[in-house]
Amino acid sequence: MSHLLLHSWPSAITAAMTLASGAILLLAAGHDVVSRTVPNWMSLVIAGFGVAAGLADDRLLISGGIGLAVFVAAAICWRRGWMGGADVKLLGAIVIVLPPAMVSSFVVAMSLAGAAHALTYMLARRVVAPPHRPRPNSLLSRGLRAEQWRISRGGPLPYACAIAFGFLFVICNGGAP
């Protein structure tokens, strides 16, 4: 019995780190929607969870290497103006959490979610007019008004939403694209 408990301990740590990363990632996506920023502490905490999961599963070196490679590729996209800096950090951190076999499925799911999100925004720009009413009082109304303003002016996408979707998709589907 004790052997079974010791054998399942690394997978329990990995599961806990994955769930905690998903929770922080959802907070990051919400923050990105509201302010188009993701605080650095969120990426750092997720990277820390990834390090713990990598140590527990004896895959830290390969997960860290893949995370670094994804971070560098995303940084090139940032340099060209295709991504925000916070999204680059978040993307590099979340890849460390994932088992290496899930990374390619994650990138595909995230990219498809990002494309659908961008297409939705591009279509919305044709029908959403800038807000003309006074500033509303409720937080939700103010958020919707701000989003209306961003869409009508071609503002940036909250790409942390696509990152969160890709992560949750592969975690919930066991890595299947």
- Tokens representing 113? 């979610």
Query: Distances from the Cα of 123 to the Cαs of 85, 86, 112, 162, 164, in angstroms?
Result: 25, 25, 16, 17, 22
Question: Taking the domains of the chain in order of start, what are their residue ranges?
Answer: 2-172
How far is residue 42's CA from residue 30's CA, in Å, rounded to a whole number?
12
Quote the pTM value: 0.84
- pLDDT tens-digit readout, 154-166: 778 899 999 999 9
pLDDT (tens digit per residue) in 91-138: 999 999 999 999 999 999 999 999 999 898 888 877 777 767 777 677
Alpha helices in the chain (DSSP H): 2-35, 40-56, 60-79, 85-97, 103-127, 139-152, 160-172
For the ranges 3-12, 44-53, 139-148, 156-165, the one whose mean pLDDT is highest:
44-53
pLDDT-based confidence at residue 3 (cuts at 50, 70, 90): very low
- The HSE-up count of residue 85 (CA atoms within 13 Å, CB side) is 3
Q: Which pLDDT value is given to residue 1?
A: 42
Distances (CA, A) of 154 to 114, 121, 123: 16, 8, 11
* Mean pLDDT, rounded, of the chain: 87
